[in-house]
Amino acid sequence: MTDLMRACLVSEFGGPEVLQFGEAPRPYIANSDTLVRVKAAGVNPIDVKTRSGKGVSRFVDRFPWIPGNEFAGIVEEAPYELAPFQPGDEVFGMLLTPHYQGSFAEYVSVPFMSLAKKPKSMSWAQAGATPLAALTAWAGVVDAARVHTGQRMLIHAGAGGVGHFAVQLAHFYGAYVIATASERNLEFLRELGADEVIDYRNRRFEEAITEPVDVVLDLIGNVAANTGSRSLQVLRDGGLIINVPTGSWPEMHEEVAATNRSLQASTLKLSPEGRILTTIAQLADQGDLRCHLDATLPLEELAQAHELIADGHVRGKIAVEIG
Ligand SMILES: NC(=O)c1ccc[n+]([C@@H]2O[C@H](COP(=O)([O-])OP(=O)(O)OC[C@H]3O[C@@H](n4cnc5c(N)ncnc54)[C@H](OP(=O)(O)O)[C@@H]3O)[C@@H](O)[C@H]2O)c1
């Protein structure tokens, strides 16, 4: 087997044109790492932000850099004989960010605790595009909000990558889900399990919501129409706002304090945990969670995926196929 692999190679930050393709050394495995032959990988807003010199670009300490955070593929090499994932196993997983050798490549090396068995019900592209957004949705809906029956939850951007998983998880665990999207996505949100849908372009959500909510999962912040600040108006006393896009609303804590109400506020960071992915895979295989793909492209068309994501209106996720 050759020691080289095909990969996306970025030599400087910039526009989509910096996404070049060539050969790179195959990653080696150390400690509990598992070598995975990547079949498909998901594309996320963090990829676009980092490529342009924002996001987590400050942690990229050498070029060429291989971007990509999540993937699905087949185990090529296990760290030891009885490790949980052995050659031939079909897996999906996520890399700890930041990293140097990402998943837009033929091979990725990842600690086995960040892997889970690929859901049988998902295609390679769906499985490759699930981990980052689904783990973020889990961190917000399950870990931070402690979702439960009857809890009223407002989810902004419910039709996007994180949002469409969050709507499904909140619905599955019994919450009353209110979600925002533009008109073309309202039926999609209902199919995912939203109890109420609001077209944010035609109605102010704070006027449409007549009964206060317990939790707001804010996937927009104040970068569009002060969505974060306005969300405080719909929270009940003691309610919780979770702001997910880092940097989209830096004044959140000050604004919450200024309300002089007993509101809670939190940002969020996801953790690449295989055990949670195992639960996500179970939910998928029992028919309670799906990954909607807006587009599936070959790796070499990654720039097109970046442009679609930068436009801000992807429904569900975008995946690239590799190999
Ligand atoms: N902190 C973390 O660890 C973490 C993890 C994951 C993601 N994030 C961040 O969280 C954000 C969301 O991620 P994502 O992957 O879900 O993004 P995404 O898939 O690109 O979101 C696209 C969705 O946003 C909706 N949208 C756009 N403007 C809206 C508005 N004003 N109100 C309501 N919906 C709107 C669009 O619906 P329409 O087309 O119907 O408008 C579209 O479906 C990103 O900024 C991402 O970087 C942070």
pLDDT in tens, 121-142: 999 999 999 999 999 999 999 9
Rounded percentage of the chain residues whose pLDDT exceeds 90: 96
* Residue 5: strand pairing partners: 24
Nearest CA to ligand 1 atom 26: 157
The region, left, alpha or beta by phi > 0 then psi within -120 to 50, assigned to residue 36 is beta
Query: Is residue 278 within 8 Å of 253, Cβ to Cβ?
Result: no
Nearest CA to ligand 1 atom 33: 157
CA separation for the pair 183, 205 (Å, rounded): 13
- Give domain 4-130+291-321's CATH architecture: Alpha-Beta Complex (3.90)
Cβ(160) to ligand 1 under 6 A? yes
Q: Is the per-residue pLDDT at 311 higher than 70? A: yes
CA dist 252 → 204, 247, 267 (Å): 20, 10, 9
Which pLDDT band holds residue 323 (cuts at 50, 70, 90)? confident
Provide CATH code, domain 133-266: 3.40.50.720
Q: Take residue 154 and report the two structure tokens written for it.
A: 């407002």
Domain with CATH 3.40.50.720 in the chain: 133-266
Rounded percentage of the chain residues whose pLDDT exceeds 70: 99
- Ligand 1 atom nearest the C-alpha of 159 is 43
Cβ(192) to ligand 1 under 6 A? no
CA separation for the pair 152, 136 (Å, rounded): 19
What is the reported pLDDT for 2? 60
Cβ(46) to ligand 1 under 6 A? yes
- Ligand 1 atom nearest the C-alpha of 45 is 47
* Interacting residues of 145 by C-beta distance below 8 A, sequence separation 6+: 151, 153, 170, 214, 215, 217, 240, 242
Give start and end residues of each alpha helix (H) in 173-287. Answer: 186-192, 205-208, 227-231, 252-258, 274-285
Cβ(60) to ligand 1 under 6 A? no
What is the reported pLDDT for 257? 98
What is the reported pLDDT for 105? 98
**CA 80 to ligand 1 center in whole angstroms:** 39
Q: Is the per-residue pLDDT at 246 higher than 90? A: no
CA dist 33 → 4, 68, 78, 258 (Å): 19, 17, 7, 47
Which pLDDT band holds residue 201 (cuts at 50, 70, 90)? very high
Q: How many CA atoms lie within 13 A of 205 on its CB side?
A: 31
Domain with CATH 3.90.180.10 in the chain: 4-130+291-321
What is the reported pLDDT for 97? 76
